[in-house]
Amino acid sequence: MREHPVGLRAVAARWRGAAADAGLWAGSVALVALETDSVRAAPAAEAAVMAVVLAAAFALRRRAPFAALGVALAALVVQAVIIALTLVSTLVLSYAAVCAALAFSAGRRSDRTAPIVAMFATAALATLMAYTVTWIRVGDARETLTGVTDWAGGLAVLAAAVVAPWLLGRYRHRHAELRTAGWEIAERMERARDLDAERARLRERASIATRMHDSLGHDLALIAVRAAALEMAPEGGGAREAAAGLRAAAHDANLRLREIIGVLREDAERSASGGGDGGEDIAALVDRAVRAGLDVRLVREGPDLDPATPAGRAAHRVVQEALTNAARYAPGAAVTVRLDRGADATAVRVSDTGAAGGSAPRATGPAGGSGLAGLYDLVEGMGGGLSAGPGASPDGAAAPSGASSGGDGFTVAAHIPDTAEPAPGAGPEGTATETAQRLSGARRSARRRLAAALAVPTALAAAVVACGFAVLAYVGTNSVLPAEDYARLSVGQNRAAVERELPRFDYPARDLVDPPPAPPGSACRFYLVEWENGLPPVYRLCFADGRLAAKDRIARE
């Protein structure tokens, strides 16, 4: 039985990972051995211990990245604690380099923040406790403050070796996700393509059905107007011509119905916003209604509305539905169509005077009929407003005088903004698609992680450096013995009186190289002549038997 190719690839991937871990372990052990050989008295023992520790760390690197980082960080912290307690050891920086590699690996494999915070805090507290023990044992204020500076420097090393590589690893992980997100989205879009096409066909059919209702309803209403005129016409008084016009109108309506049914039988995908009524302007629509016998007057203000635009098509439908309702519910009424074309919107108002003998009540709300309901959805979907009723308007203003008669007048008013076509990558209502939202979110996350990888370590380092310089400045300025105070001191003066003139801190004797011999039986203390970089001169005061035994100025080169 042959092994499945997928299984072979998995085995090969595991072997490649093991080989990479072994290579990293060997390189890290070699780096530690080289450095310890130059700074340690027994480098072989330390290198052997670190070989075992790093073997455990790299064995855990893929399955438990934070545990692997914790093992390597523990070795670095132990070294820092020993340095803090002995004050003689030298820091092996290769320990920090190993921690940086494992921290980067952990960041690439996990987004968890709590383990990094916990390890950083534990390492900081462990080294602080070690320095505290040293400060208590030494019992010198200057040494304590110098130790604070050393501890702050250790925090900077910790941030550079753990926090910064981990943040860079997180950014690398997010960048890789962003790089593969396009393929994942393409796969999902491939699976959803057939469903999207079916939804588009359904939307097209629903749109055609809506236009069929509006268009045929309008034509049938005009046929009814012609039939009523024919019915009321005296015998022989142009009845033949009226009947011919009625037959022609019925024939046109039948042709329109056949055309729409033919379109419905086709599966061509057309834009839902297009339609057969998009090419007819409102003037032609009103003219057709006048020829059918309606008393319609068109009033236009401003430039003509382009019938091919979404706003032009919407205005056409509003006027068409209003004329249809007027012909159906208010036969014989005078109708006024008013178009007010503004800078960025069009106001459409269709008012009738009502039927002479009254008419059946007409619907005024969105749910009051499929025609008006469709207009409400269309106009409000474009960000406009529509209202219908006795003297109603979108802004609530009353109808002008003469718009109604006997309380039966009816007005359909709409406010239609000039809407642009949806932007590329936007949904049906101008909202971003899922693809655009996901890619945008991935890019934002990658940018945030890169900014954090750069800003957080920089901010920590800046804070540590500022703290260290502040402590050094405080200690340095308080170790200076002013020249006038030094001049007032005299050999043989009581020690207590001399110490009242001395600064807060003295200068450590271990920082002097081959100072002059002190007087026999005396203990000497040193103070800076001035605080400056390099090797400034110092004052030496030597005490014996509670008196100032000697004072001198030592220049250093």
CATH number for position 337: 3.30.565.10
Tokens of 204: 């097209």
pLDDT in tens, 275-296: 444 467 899 888 888 887 788 9
pLDDT in the model for residue 543: 92
Give the list of residues 6+ apart from residue 499 with CB closer than 8 angstroms, or none: none
Query: How far is residue 527's CA from residue 482's CA, in Å, rounded to a whole number?
Result: 9
Lowest pLDDT segment from 416-425, 445-454, 518-527 = 416-425
| 8 Å CB contact between 527 and 479 | yes
Q: How far is CA 495 from CA 139, 491, 501, in A?
A: 21, 10, 10
Sheet containing strand 295-301, strands side by side: 295-301, 334-341, 345-352, 410-417, 385-389
Strand 295-301 relative to strand 345-352: parallel, antiparallel, unpaired? unpaired
Given 395, 421, 447, which residue is the final one in a domain? 421
Q: Do residues 425 and 435 make contact, with C-beta atoms less than 8 angstroms apart? A: yes
Please check whether residues 303 and 382 belong to one and the same domain: yes
Residue 416 falls inside a structural domain: yes
Among 37-41, 152-156, 387-391, 500-504, which range has the highest average pLDDT? 500-504
For 529, the domain range is: 483-554
Spatial contact of 515 and 540, defined as CB atoms under 8 Å apart = yes
Number of helices (H), then strands (E), belonging to the chain: the values are: 14, 8
Asked whether residue 200 is domain-assigned, the answer is: no
The answer to the question of residue 266 being in a domain is no
Distances (CA, A) of 553 to 143, 483, 527, 528: 23, 11, 10, 10
Which of 41-50, 335-344, 482-491, 535-544 shows the lowest per-residue confidence on average (mean pLDDT)?
Answer: 41-50
Alpha-carbon span 294 to 382, nearest angstrom:
30
SS3 track for 132-181: HHHHHHHCCHHHHHHHHHHHHHHHHHHHHHHHHHHHHHHHHHHHHHHHHH
Question: Per-residue pLDDT averaged across 421-442, rounded?
Answer: 53
Q: What are 87-111's pLDDT values in tens digits?
A: 666 778 888 889 999 999 898 888 7
Higher pLDDT, 151 or 243: 151
What is the tens place of the pLDDT at every residue in 224-236? 666 666 666 666 5
DSSP characters over 55-87: HHHHHHTTT-HHHHHHHHHHHHHHHHHHHHHHS
In terms of domains, do 404 and 299 share one? Answer: yes
CA distance 74 to 162: 12
| Strand-pair partners of 414 | 348, 386
Output the six-digit token pair for 137: 């044992």
- Asked whether the predicted pLDDT for residue 340 surpasses 90, the reply is yes
Rounded Cα gap, residues 40 and 382, in angstroms: 79
Report CA 64 to chain centroid distance, whole Å. 30
Query: 303 and 395, same structural domain?
Result: yes
State whether 302 and 405 are in the same domain.
yes
Q: Look at residue 258 and tell me if it is in a domain.
A: no
Render pLDDT for 145-196 as a digit per residue (tens, 0 to 9).
Answer: 777 777 888 888 888 888 889 888 888 887 776 666 665 666 666 666 666 6
Are 130 and 40 members of one domain? yes
Instruction: Quick: pLDDT tens for 533-552.
Output: 778 889 999 999 889 999 99
* Cβ-contact 346, 339 below 8 angstroms: yes
Q: Per the domain annotation, does 134 fall within a domain?
A: yes
Query: Which residue matches tokens 């879009």?
Result: 189
| CB-count exposure of residue 340 (10 Å: 0-12, 13-18, 19+) | middle
Retrieve residue 131's tokens: 């320095």
Q: Report the DSSP pairing between strands 295-301 and 334-341.
A: parallel
For residue 393, count other CB atoms closer than 10 A to its CB. Answer: 22
Contacts of 60 (CB under 8 A, 6+ apart): 67, 68, 71
Tens-digit pLDDT profile for residues 372-429: 777 888 888 888 889 888 864 444 344 443 333 344 688 999 999 986 444 444 444 4
Q: Show the tokens assigned to 48.
A: 């052997």
Tokens (6 digits) for 496: 């207590």
CB distance 386 to 375 below 8 Å: yes
- Spatial CB neighbours of 483, under 8 Å, sequence gap ≥ 6: 529
pLDDT value of position 462: 78
Work out the angle between the directed axes of helices 43-60 and 93-109 (0-180°, nearest 10): 0
490-494 — which CB contacts under 8 Å span 24+ positions? 490/548, 491/548, 491/549, 491/550, 491/551, 492/547, 492/548, 493/547, 493/548, 494/546, 494/547, 494/548
Residue finishing a domain among 382, 400, 421: 421
d(CA 516, CA 537): 13
Final residue of a structural domain among 139, 155, 182: 139
Distance CA 28, CA 20 (A): 12
Interval 458-473: pLDDT, tens: 777 778 778 777 877 8
pLDDT on residue 339: 93
Same domain, 298 and 405: yes
Examine residue 191 and state whether it is found in any structural domain, yes or no.
Answer: no
Give domain status of residue 371, yes or no.
yes
For the chain, the domain total comes to 3
Q: What is the pLDDT of residue 532?
A: 80
Return phi, psi of residue 201, to 5°. -65, -40
Q: For 296, how many CA atoms within 13 A lie in the half-sphere containing its CB?
A: 27
What is the rounded CA–CA span in Å between residue 215 and residue 289?
12
The more confident residue out of 299 and 151 is 299
Q: How far apart are CA 210 and CA 377, in angstroms?
A: 12
Polymer length in residues for the chain: 557
Tell me the mean pLDDT in the region 428-446.
60
